[in-house]
């Protein structure tokens, strides 16, 4: 560890200068030789570094989400070229280039933080050995050696001997208890940060090897911190515990306000957003408008939680607009079906009458109710066209007791549904008007 720290000795001067400036401020309040002054100086150094690393943290979030989105495509490439590792690597690099993603972007905050971490370790190790480093002169060195945090000196380690600990003005029991508690808190905070990332902020609809890798890191990182923590000075443990707590709080803020699409955190966030928008009748700030706009633009690609959010706004009488705003909907509200397509829910459409087939039209069935008069007139017309049974004054050449064959045919035609009554009756009447046969002579 000392060899690695010496590689970053070029940055020990800026780090020691920042610590001394904070120590000047806190020393005036708590006293220059107290553990509060030196401990809060280290905590302030962490906060300053993490504030400067916020842009890298934002880039890390975007890169992590982009990698989660690419997991299905990466899995296809691995299955397609599982026997050709070189071609698999080439296709992976091509995919990264086309999408503009970088796998190393998720490690940027840790890589950028490493020089400050090792520089601080180099400074505290110099305090333990009695060497002046950077801007820390002899008087500041003596003040730092007198500083204790809960009875443990800043430069003491868990693995130090009792003689070395006594030379720093402390007992071995106090040092080991304080360092053990700090190591446990450091590992627990790291485990909780990784666990909330896996359980709340991961898209549950996609099962990829990336999720298994993150799950493995959730257990590996705390063990690594516990193993390396026993070799860290108390001041470095203060630094690392502070940065873990900052990371945990920062992660909780991101999960609460900007969750990963398809995750449980997004479902909880959209539920809260729906209640707020329904209560106020509008989106309250730019961030809410950006989220609503992103959901509207997705269209059919919305996930289950996003469709539920749009449907909830519709039930509340609101409609999400393309610019991210929310307006009151009119009588015909726009809802979203299960497949993501918008559907209009309002007054029912007027149903058109069913078109009859040719056989139905010929059979004369299923006539509309409005055509009652036409049906009645057609029936009366067909009856009037046929021969009447009432006596007529006109002379007839046919015998009285002989019924014309045409009348019988007309009645038979009229009794059959679906036949053209008028045309068949007229044709039968014409055919029936024939001369009676003369009686045969026997």
Per run of 10 residues, the mean pLDDT along the chain (length 442 residues) is 61 88 93 90 91 82 71 78 83 80 69 81 79 84 86 88 85 92 91 81 60 71 83 88 90 84 85 88 86 86 86 88 83 45 48 66 56 45 44 43 44 44 48 52 44
To the nearest 10°, report the CA torsion of 117, 120, 125, 130. Answer: 170
The two tokens of residue 40 are 């809060």
- For position 109, what pLDDT does the model report? 72
What sections of 1-53 are H helices per DSSP?
A: 2-7, 12-30, 35-52
Tell me which residue of 53, 22, 55 sits closest to 39, measured CA to CA: 22
260: left (phi over 0), alpha (psi -120 to 50) or beta: beta
- For position 43, what pLDDT does the model report? 93
CA distance 344 to 332: 6
- For position 106, what pLDDT does the model report? 64
- For position 373, what pLDDT does the model report? 46
- For position 434, what pLDDT does the model report? 53
CA distance 311 to 309: 5
Instruction: List phi, psi (to 5°) of 117.
Output: -65, -50
> Strand ranges (DSSP E) for 321-391?
326-328, 333-336, 342-345
The answer to whether the beta carbons of residues 20 and 140 sit under 8 Å apart is yes
Instruction: List phi, psi (to 5°) of 160.
Output: -70, 150
- For position 181, what pLDDT does the model report? 94
């Amino acid at each position: 560890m000392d060899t690695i720290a010496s590689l970053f000795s070029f940055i020990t001067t800026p780090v020691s200068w920042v610590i001394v400036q904070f120590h000047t401020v806190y020393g005036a309040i708590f006293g220059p030789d107290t553990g509060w002054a030196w401990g809060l100086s280290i905590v302030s150094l962490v906060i300053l570094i993490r504030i400067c690393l916020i842009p890298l943290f934002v880039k890390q979030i975007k890169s992590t989400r982009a990698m989660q989105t690419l997991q299905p495509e990466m899995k296809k490439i691995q299955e397609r070229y599982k026997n050709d590792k070189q071609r698999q690597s080439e296709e992976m690099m091509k995919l990264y280039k086309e999408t503009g993603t970088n796998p190393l972007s998720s490690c940027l905050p840790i890589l950028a933080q490493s020089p400050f971490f090792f520089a601080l370790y180099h400074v505290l190790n110099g305090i333990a050995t009695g060497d002046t480093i950077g801007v820390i002169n002899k008087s500041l060195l003596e003040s730092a050696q007198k500083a204790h945090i809960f009875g443990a000196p800043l430069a003491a380690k868990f693995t130090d001997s009792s003689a070395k600990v006594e030379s720093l003005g402390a007992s071995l029991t106090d040092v080991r208890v304080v360092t053990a508690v700090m190591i446990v808190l450091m590992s627990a905070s790291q485990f909780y940060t990784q666990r909330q990332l896996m359980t709340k902020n991961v898209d549950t609809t996609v099962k990829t090897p990336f999720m298994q890798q993150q799950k493995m890191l959730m257990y590996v990182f705390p063990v690594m911190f516990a193993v390396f923590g026993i070799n860290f000075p108390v001041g470095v443990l203060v630094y690392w515990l502070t940065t873990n707590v900052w990371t945990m709080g920062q992660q909780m803020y991101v999960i609460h306000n900007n969750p990963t699409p398809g995750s449980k955190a997004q479902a909880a966030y959209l539920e809260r957003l729906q209640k707020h928008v329904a209560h106020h009748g509008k989106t309250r700030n730019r961030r809410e408008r950006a989220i609503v706009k992103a959901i509207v633009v997705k269209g059919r690609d919305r996930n289950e939680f996003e469709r539920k959010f749009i449907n909830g706004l519709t039930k509340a009488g609101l409609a999400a607009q393309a610019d991210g705003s929310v307006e009151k909907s009119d009588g015909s509200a726009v809802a979203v079906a299960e497949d993501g397509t918008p559907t209009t829910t309002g007054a029912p459409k007027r149903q058109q009458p069913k078109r009859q087939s040719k056989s139905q039209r010929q059979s004369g069935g299923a006539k509309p109710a409005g055509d009652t008069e036409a049906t009645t007139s057609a029936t009366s017309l067909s009856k009037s066209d046929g021969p009447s049974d009432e006596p007529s004054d006109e002379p007839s050449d046919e015998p009285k007791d002989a019924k014309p064959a045409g009348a019988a045919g007309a009645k038979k035609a009229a009794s059959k549904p679906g036949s053209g009554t008028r045309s068949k009756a007229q044709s039968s009447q014409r055919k029936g008007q024939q001369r009676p046969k003369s009686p045969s002579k026997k």
